[in-house]
Amino acid sequence: MTKAQTISVIINSGNEEREIGPCLESVGQMADEIIVCLSQLSNDKTGEIAREHEAKVIVQEPVEMNYAAWHNQGMKIAKGGWLLWVDADERIPLPLKEEILSVLNNSQYSAYAIPRRNFLLGKELHWGGWYPDYAKRLFRKNDLKRWEGELHEQPIFSGDLGKLKNPMLHYQPEKIEPALQKSIRWSGLETGLLFKANHPKSTWWRVLRMGLTTLFERLIKKQGFRDGVEGWIESIYQSFHTMIVYLRLWELQHQ
C-alpha cells in the first residue's frame, strides 16, 4: 500500500464517553491513523477511552466552538493520503468501509459525500429531509485546502466531488433532554453569527414566522409526519430550535 492509499480518520469529540468507543471500533480496521481532537472542556473519559483504542489524542484549539478551526487542526496533523471525518455519534458499517477502501485505490474524484441514516429516539428517520442527508466527509489530502465556517463548516477543495452509495449511521439522542441541551449550546453560536452579520431586527413576528416555516418545511413539505411520533417530535424540535435562535437574537439586539 502506498501513502496515497492510506487513510486517516479524524473525530472531533468531547464528553462523549458513551459514543467514542463504538465509533472507534467501527473505523478501527479501516484506518491507518485515528486522530481524536478532544475538547478542552471535556471532563469525562472520552480521551482515556480514545487512547485505549490507540487513537492519537490532541486538544482542540481554540476553546470556543469553531468547527472549521478544529477540522483544520486535524487536517494539518493527519498523515494519511486520504482524510475521513467522523462524528462520535456516527458509525461506519462494513459495506461503507469496503466501499471507502475501494475508492482509495482508483479514484477520479478528490472528495466524496456520504449518505447518512439518521436515528432519533431509537427509530430511523426516512422523511423530513433526513435521508439521504449527504455529508462531505472523505477527501484526498493533497486536494483539500481548508475548512471554513465556525458552525456549519464547509470544505474548500480542488477537483470533483463524488458520492458514495453506502450510508454511515448517525445516532441522535435517544432521549429528549440531551437534544435540548445540545440546542442550547448550538443556538448560542448561531445567534452570535447572526448578530455579527447585522441580521435584521428579531421581532415577535419574525420569531413566530421562522418557527412555523421550519415546522411546515420538515413536517409537511418533506413529509416528516410519515415517520410517526418520532417524525412529529423531530419536526417540532427543529421548529423549537429555530425559535430559540431568534429569541436569543432578540435578546442580544436589546442589550
Q: Are residues 128 and 197 in the same domain?
A: no
- CA geometry: angle at 87 spanning 83 and 93, to 5°? 80
Which are the contacts of 35, defined by CB distance < 8 A and separation ≥ 6?
Answer: 8, 9, 10, 11, 55, 56, 57, 58, 74, 77, 78
Q: Are residues 157 and 91 in the same domain?
A: yes
Q: Are residues 157 and 206 in the same domain?
A: no
Q: Are residues 127 and 54 in the same domain?
A: yes
List the CATH number of the domain containing 38.
Answer: 3.90.550.10
Q: Are residues 107 and 230 in the same domain?
A: no
Domain count, the chain: 2
Q: Are residues 25 and 148 in the same domain?
A: yes
Q: Indicate the residue type of 66.
A: N
Give, for all 255 residues of the chain, the pLDDT tens digit: 676 689 999 999 999 999 999 999 999 889 999 999 999 989 999 999 999 999 999 999 877 778 999 999 999 999 999 999 999 999 999 999 999 999 988 889 999 999 999 999 999 999 999 999 999 999 999 999 999 988 889 999 999 999 999 999 999 888 889 888 888 888 998 999 999 999 999 999 999 999 999 999 999 999 999 999 999 999 999 999 999 999 999 999 999
Domain hosting 209: range is: 176-253
Q: Are residues 154 and 238 in the same domain?
A: no
Q: Are residues 52 and 156 in the same domain?
A: yes
